Amino acid sequence: MFCFSSPFGRRERAAAAAAAPPPPPVEAVPGPGPGPGAAPDPLSPAAAAAAQPCIVVVEGPTGAAAAGGDDGEVRTAPRAEPETDTASYSSSASGCSVTSSSSSSSSSGCDAGADEDGEEEEDEEADEEGGAAAEAEGQLEPLASRRGAPAPLPPLAACASSSASSLTASSSASASASPAPSPSAPGPGPRFKLLREGDVQLCYLNHTRTVISKILSSKFLRRWETHRLYLNDACISSKTPSGFMERSVPYSSVEELCVVARWDAGHRFCVRLVVQDGSLLLQANNAYMRDQWYHSILWKKCIFKYRNILKKSTRPEVVLKELKSLVELATSTPLQDECVTNAPMEIVSRLLEEDEAWTSRGGSEQLTATLAPLLANTAPSPALCRFFSRHCAAHPRSPAVAERLTPVAQRILKHNVDFGKFPHMRRLVQDYICALHMQNGGDEVLRRFVASIHGPGSSCPHPRVLPNLVAVCLAAVFSSFEERRSVEARNETQGLVLEHADCQLQCYLSVLLTVSEYDDWRPGLAQLLQPIPFPDDALAHEPFIRSFMPVMERIGKDSRCEVHQLVLGIREGKEGWFHVYCPSSLACVDEGELWCSMLEILLHCCCRRKRFLVQLAKRLGACLLLALRDHTVAQEALCLMLEWELLTQEDQKMQVVTTLQSTASGREHYAALCRRQMHLKELQQKGGPRKLTLPSRSTDADIARLLSCGSFGNLECLSLAFTHVTSACAEQLIKLPSLRYLNLWATQFGDSGLLMISEHLHKLQVLNLCETQVSDKGIAALASMTSLRKLNLNSTKLSAHTFERLKQKLPALQEFDVRYTEAW
């Protein structure tokens, strides 16, 4: 039964209804409609034109209404004060429903908002004969779909099926009573943080159909209490258990949950909880807080329900159905809180740990498909990672691997920070990659997967993808060789086991090879591989070394210095990939071809320095062997060792000369060396000027022509200020051993030239690098020039840290200029 609070009597309402113009004709769906004497629709255009404020109350089938199916009514009455129409959307115990209500609302056939003017009950029964019952239930489904309220429980049609006539209610009634929009659940709209506690005003309405209860629940006798409520896992409790909240309210006793925009003139923004014997009203301060309370209570109630159902269910189809509803709830709720994903993940993890019925391929695929939307925005739990890993290992060709687990693996690679804390995630990605490789066209499938996580652009927007992917591959390589060692230790049959290990090894090497194809990833990949992060067994395993060679070839032949330099050791005395692929190493399987290509790039770019050649001289045998096989770069390296006098033993010098003269190209290189040596002797003969200043437009070629004739053995002071020389002129400057003063002010001289002169011009005392391109990389090398007394680094890229270290290494330094630098 639906009741209204109105100060007017029956005659006044009848007069107001007769005075109102009739509503426009609307084509109605066949079915029971309002009686002939029913009042016009209060929300119709005609009523709006007449400016007749009214109250509309529509109650869903709860209590007696649910049993009889005809206990709802719609009544209109003119108001003394205009009030805005109200709306409520609710979630009942059997499903989510939407109800439209007004200043007072009733439930379960009760009279919570009874007429205070003492109207006869016969009037109420007469009005119930109209089409309000059809309207009350006929509106529910379109309103719920239009509002987008969360529906984690069975569809609303199941709730409204008790009355067949309500399914055929007139469309005019549905359209006329359109309530105000409810808070959005998914999609655009407000977002809420899950409430766990808060202060609200609270009122309890008794639904027992007695005169005393009606009087106590009347508008003038309602009592509101202030409580601090706690939303626990199983119930709602108060900090001060007294009054209406003397006992906690279990979620299992909440039959319906709805939002009421306005209860009466003094109480707005209410949330209504329908329990067994009454209704509990919670009043918030504003509409946002009201909606936050509604969604928080609804979330707690639904999670409590799913946790209990899934704990007791044993049939897989029932579990899958409930899990699907749980996932839909978690992905559609407007709540934004970590527990929105953690709570469903905890329920699923406990289910997987306690139930072993998901090991079959069909059950595993269905469960994976059900949980896929939940994992789109969160990382899987350890139990889920183990479940997915078992699925990848047992069914690598399953369609669910590529369709459902690809987003999971992508998210882990993009967002994971430390696999050391989450080894289960690393293992999942590892098994996922192996499963992809075992599908048809495995290498191409892996290539597409790597391309998907890199993105279509020239650079990957996710900085964590590369280190995570390399960490997975390195862990898999270690695991493969550990498995190989364990098999050999047990003296088991090695055929199938080693074949499977080699297949897995090739899988992860294919990933590294694909990663090396991307230019933006190659510097990071080279840095991660520089310390040779592989076991010794891998370096002695020829298939591994041969398969890994293309990766190091791309790194060694890269034109960028910060990439190809990383084939060297990570520090002095530590071997790198350049030493692993050296012909004198046991790991060399290509007769030194890769080593020669690395040497060529290093020698012609940034390693044409005495420090590098001193280290190379320790592998003189490899250089002699390759020079004998007519490799040009090896012959060039031997000539530089002779020219810079890096070979101290006469036997070594004679052996180098003999090797160079054994081939035609070697003889050409040795002849050119002899010519340079004769010219150097002439250049360094005593005589010539002591000071020399070049014109402002001089270039590197001008310096080379100037020093190609005559002797400059007495040259001590050279000024190249304001010229166009670059770092390339350093090869000519190192031929002047008597140089004491060098002025490079406002030139394009850079770090590479500074590195070279710091290794050869040890007698230099005054150096002017003002307004040059040098930085910390080159300036740090000046620490070996212990004879420096004056140093000008004005307007360079010097840092304070490098300058402090430089002062400690140069005790003879008397004057320095670091203005307009970070060290100033």
Residues 395 and 535 in one domain: no
Whether 337 shows a pLDDT value over 50: the answer reads yes
Residues 382 and 483 in one domain: no
Q: What are the φ and ψ backbone dihedral angles of 459, each rounded to 5 degrees? A: -135, 145
Whether 731 shows a pLDDT value over 70: the answer reads yes
Tell me, yes or no, whether 725 lies in a domain. yes
Give residue 221's pLDDT: 63
**What number is the average pLDDT over the span 747-766?**
93
Give residue 82's pLDDT: 35
Residues 660 and 786 in one domain: no
Say how far apart CA 794 and CA 745 lie, in whole Å: 9
Tell me, yes or no, whether 308 lies in a domain. no
Say how far apart CA 106 and CA 4 lie, in whole Å: 9
The alpha carbons of the chain give a radius of gyration, in whole angstroms, of 43
Give residue 712's pLDDT: 86
Q: Are 472 and 480 in contact (CB under 8 A)?
A: no
Give residue 107's pLDDT: 35
Whether 39 shows a pLDDT value over 80: the answer reads no
Of 621, 655, 683, which closes a domain? 683
Residues 564 and 448 in one domain: yes
Please state at what angle helix 495-515 crosses helix 465-490, rounded to 10 degrees.
Answer: 160
Whether 534 shows a pLDDT value over 70: the answer reads yes
Distance from CA of residue 189 to its chain's centroid? Answer: 23
Tell me, yes or no, whether 185 lies in a domain. no
Tell me, yes or no, whether 369 lies in a domain. yes
Query: How many alpha carbons lie under 13 Å from residue 145 in its C-beta half-sphere?
Result: 7
Give the CATH number of the domain where residue 264 resides: 2.30.29.30
Whether 90 shows a pLDDT value over 90: the answer reads no
Residues 453 and 392 in one domain: no
Residues of the domain holding 268: 197-300
- Which residues, in sequence order, are CB contacts of 650 under 8 Å at separation 6+? none
Tell me, yes or no, whether 305 lies in a domain. no
Lowest mean pLDDT among 113-127, 365-379, 757-771: 113-127
Q: Is the dihedral of CA 489, 495, 500, 501 positive or negative?
A: positive
Say how far apart CA 655 and CA 671 lie, in whole Å: 16
Tell me, yes or no, whether 638 lies in a domain. yes
Residues 18 and 155 in one domain: yes
Q: What are the φ and ψ backbone dihedral angles of 79, each rounded to 5 degrees? A: -110, 150
Q: Give the distance between the most distant pair of CA atoms in the chain.
A: 133
Tell me, yes or no, whether 571 lies in a domain. yes
- Which residues, in sequence order, are CB contacts of 134 under 8 Å at separation 6+? 31, 32, 33, 163, 165, 166, 168, 169, 170, 173
Number of domains in the chain: 6
Residues 44 and 164 in one domain: yes
Q: Are 713 and 684 in contact (CB under 8 A)?
A: yes
- Bridge partners, residue 271, by sequence: 259, 282
**Residue pointed to by tokens 């199938």:** 496
Give the CATH number of the domain where residue 762 resides: 3.80.10.10
Residues 162 and 31 in one domain: yes
Residues 557 and 662 in one domain: no
Of 388, 418, 448, which closes a domain? 418
Query: How many alpha carbons lie under 13 Å from residue 274 in its C-beta half-sphere?
Result: 28
Residues 446 and 538 in one domain: yes
Of 545, 574, 605, which closes a domain? 605
215 falls in which pLDDT band (50, 70, 90)? low
pTM of the predicted structure, to 2 decimals = 0.70
Residues 735 and 678 in one domain: no
Q: Are 669 and 636 in contact (CB under 8 A)?
A: yes
Structure tokens at 189: 């709209």
Residues 265 and 157 in one domain: no
H-only helix segments in 34-131: 45-49, 64-68, 121-128
- Bridge partners, residue 693, by sequence: 719
**What number is the average pLDDT over the span 204-208?**
79
Strands 256-264 and 249-250: unpaired
Average per-residue pLDDT for the chain: 78
> With b meaning 16 or more CB within 10 Å and e meaning fewer, what string describes 800-811?
eebbeebeeebe
Tell me, yes or no, whether 414 lies in a domain. yes
Say how far apart CA 684 and CA 250 lie, in whole Å: 100
